């Protein structure tokens, strides 16, 4: 039982490049989330999903897209990376709603030059 996993762990991009972060969970959770963590800003919700095939915007969705084609996977895409997207990205999941216990992945450290 791996819990929540994220790939890659680290990535460096140049401004304008694109990339996809992959999150996978093996707990059969319905809800999945993408957060970013920045110094002094805490964790902020980017997008979330309430089930396979669904996505919704969180607090800071601009510049990101997501997809949930399979229940166990939640992908976060950056189409044209900007230096402001330099951050640590965390994926999380919960059995049902956001108020349920959320379990976090190990994080992806992204630097955009």
Partner 1 sequence: GIQVEQSPPDLILQEGANSTLRCNFSDSVNNLQWFHQNPWGQLINLFYIPSGTKQNGRLSATTVATERYSLLYISSSQTTDSGVYFCAVPENTGFQKLVFGTGTRLLVSP
Q: Which residues bind partner 1 (CB under 8 A)?
A: 42-43, 45, 48, 56, 58-59, 88, 90, 97-104, 106-107, 109
Q: How many CB atoms lie within 10 A of CB 30?
A: 16
Q: Rounded to a whole number, what is the distance in angstroms from the first to the last CA of the chain?
A: 36
User: Least CB distance from residue 106 to partner 1, whole Å?
Assistant: 5
CB 77 within 8 A of CB 19: yes
**Between 6 and 85, CB nearer to partner 1:** 6
| Nearest-approach distance from CB 95 to partner 1, in angstroms | 11
Instruction: Please say which residue, 95 or 113, places its beta carbon nearer to partner 1.
Output: 95
Give the shortest CB-16-to-partner 1 separation in angstroms. 27
Q: 80-99: b or e for each residue (b if 16 or more CB lie within 10 Å)?
A: ebeeebbbebbbbbbeeeee
């Amino acid at each position: 039982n791996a819990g929540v996993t994220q790939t890659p762990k680290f990535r460096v991009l140049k401004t304008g490049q694109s990339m996809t972060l992959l999150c996978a969970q093996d707990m059969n959770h319905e809800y999945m989330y993408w957060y970013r963590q920045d110094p002094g800003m805490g964790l902020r919700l980017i997008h979330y999903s309430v089930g396979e095939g669904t996505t919704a915007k969180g607090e800071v969705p601009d510049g990101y897209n997501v997809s949930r084609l399979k229940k166990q996977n939640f992908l976060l895409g950056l189409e044209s990376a900007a230096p402001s997207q330099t951050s640590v990205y965390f994926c999380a999941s919960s059995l049902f709603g956001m108020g349920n216990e959320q379990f976090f992945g190990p994080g992806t450290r992204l630097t955009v030059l």
